[in-house]
Amino acid sequence: MRYLVLALLAALAPASAAYSGDIVQYWVEQSGALVNGTTIGSLQSPVSAWYQAIVQAAVYEAAVKSRGESLAFQQLAVSHAAHNAILWAFHGTRIYNAADAALRAVVPAIGLNVTSNDGKEAIRVGQDAAAKVARARAADNIANFIDYVFAPATPGVYQQTPGSNPLPDVPQARFIAPFAALGDITRFRAPPPPKTNSAEYETAVLYVKEYGSLNSTARTAYDTDTAYFWRESSVTGWNRFAHSVVGIALATEVVESAKFYAQLNYALANAGFASWDTKYAYNSWRPVTAIQRTADRWVASGRDVSDAAWVPLLRPTPSHQDYVSTHSTFGGAAAAVLRAYNGGSDAVRATLTSNVTIDARGPITRQYSNLTVAALENAASRVLGGIHFPFAGSAGVAVGDAVARATLKKFDEHWDEF
């Protein structure tokens, strides 16, 4: 019967990702898909993580509050928590039909009569959980206006990049209250990037210019795929990486599954805020701005590194500063949480498919056997894509790792201090 319901679900509800039986994974997927650019337009990096952390906070709260109830009760409670948290975060948008469809699609597989007393109680637990998180996050600074003024276009200073927004994205994201009462986010700030007149900087510019350009002849086909493979939203991608590591091991352990995904998404969100703090602290220019600069010979050796027509493989360059790479920060954070889940071991067996929309590349599937390598490849992907300097990647991974480990330390005591 359960299989019949699942088959029907797959046939009747193409809008919903396949349901593995792990209700938490289902809602991680659904909330990712709902903001993937189709329904409400894509989200800036820190906001995409903020949102998923809110959904997973509500899910974990509902799971904890329904501990000891039947599996179906817990699944229904979690589903309403996720649904309401999603709608709270985006209640001014056209997301209702899709969010309702995602809930409607999974109820038959849960199998609890929603009009029975148990069903009604589960729904109330879920709704209360979402409301509690919404109240706690109502004034978390994400809505505040923070202005940005461009600094003079001297070497190293951020300027608008071709095809990007007139102003850099979400300056307020560095002030969002972190999850799990992490405290002052500035203590995770990366050390300054190398000076633009250093030999190290010159090496970095020449590297990105050669390997990151659209028509690079130095970059291998595999490395081009590396840039493509990791290009999607990191929050979506690393949650899918987590599904591959966890599999269906926690499908009947709703509290454990909810705890793991809350840890992962809190760490991602906090990492996003820390990355933004570093970006705005140093306000560093992107490779495309450095390479297209023809005004002067600014590198250490005095040679001409400019190419006014240079175009990166990944385009447009995202609308915010180079240092640090948030993609890399997310990867460092996710790897740290997965390593903790793994009992400290770096070894995993993960198979991941990324459906690449740029340049009509289509789906790429890769396998990973260790987390450190995956996080470093993710960081390298942004350099091979021509949108980050290598030092922005390595520093980003380190920031993400530190933030995630601090978030995990705080989690058990403070997870519900949103």
Ligand X SMILES: *[C@@H]1O[C@H](CO)[C@@H](O)[C@H](O)[C@H]1NC(C)=O
Residue 214 binds ligand X, judged by CB under 6 A: yes
Written as six digits, the tokens of 361 are 């590349």
In angstroms, give the least distance from the CB of 132 to ligand X.
27
Which residue lies nearer to ligand X by CB, 172 or 234?
Answer: 234
Applying CB under 6 A, among 81, 105, 311, 397 the residue interacting with ligand X is 311
Residue 60 CA to residue 24 CA, distance in Å, equals 9
Return the closest-CA partner of residue 219 out of 314, 291, 309, 304: 314
Residue 215 binds ligand X, judged by CB under 6 A: yes
Residue 357 binds ligand X, judged by CB under 6 A: yes
Residue 344 binds ligand X, judged by CB under 6 A: no
Residue 351 binds ligand X, judged by CB under 6 A: no
The number of residues in the chain equals 418
Q: Are 273 and 185 in contact (CB under 8 A)?
A: yes
Rounded (10°) CA dihedral 186, 191, 194, 200: -140
Residue 15 binds ligand X, judged by CB under 6 A: yes
Return the closest-CA partner of residue 389 out of 255, 120, 131, 194: 194
Applying CB under 6 A, among 5, 13, 36, 225 the residue interacting with ligand X is 36
Quick note: the x/- pattern for ligand X over 373-402, rule CB under 6 A, is x-----------------------------
In angstroms, give the least distance from the CB of 109 to ligand X.
15
Applying CB under 6 A, among 116, 154, 198, 367 the residue interacting with ligand X is 116
Residue 365 binds ligand X, judged by CB under 6 A: no
Bridge partners, 157 (sequence order): 284
Residue 115 binds ligand X, judged by CB under 6 A: yes
3-state secondary structure of 370: strand
Residues 6+ apart with CB under 8 A from 402: 188
Return the closest-CA partner of residue 252 out of 5, 22, 6, 2: 22
Residue 95 binds ligand X, judged by CB under 6 A: no
Helix%, strand%, coil% for the chain, nearest 5:
55, 5, 35
Residue 118 binds ligand X, judged by CB under 6 A: no
- Within residues 225-254, the interface with ligand X by CB under 6 A covers none
Return the closest-CA partner of residue 227 out of 202, 208, 242: 208
Which residue lies nearer to ligand X by CB, 209 or 320?
Answer: 209
Size of site (CB under 6 A) for ligand X? 20
Residues 6+ apart with CB under 8 A from 104: none
Residue 157 CA to residue 222 CA, distance in Å, equals 32
Which residue lies nearer to ligand X by CB, 143 or 221?
Answer: 221
Stretch that binds ligand X, among 30-38, 67-75, 322-330, 385-393 (CB under 6 A): 30-38
- Within residues 275-294, the interface with ligand X by CB under 6 A covers none
For the beta carbon of residue 347, count every other beta carbon within 10 angstroms. 11
Residue 71 binds ligand X, judged by CB under 6 A: no
In angstroms, give the least distance from the CB of 181 to ligand X.
32
Residue 217 binds ligand X, judged by CB under 6 A: no
Residue 367 binds ligand X, judged by CB under 6 A: no
Quick note: the x/- pattern for ligand X over 154-193, rule CB under 6 A, is ----------------------------------------
Return the closest-CA partner of residue 58 out of 33, 30, 86, 34: 86
Which residue lies nearer to ligand X by CB, 116 or 186?
Answer: 116
Written as six digits, the tokens of 23 are 């209700």
Task: Give the binding site for ligand X (CB under 6 A).
Answer: 15, 33, 36-38, 113, 115-116, 214-215, 309, 311, 346-347, 355, 357, 363, 370, 372-373
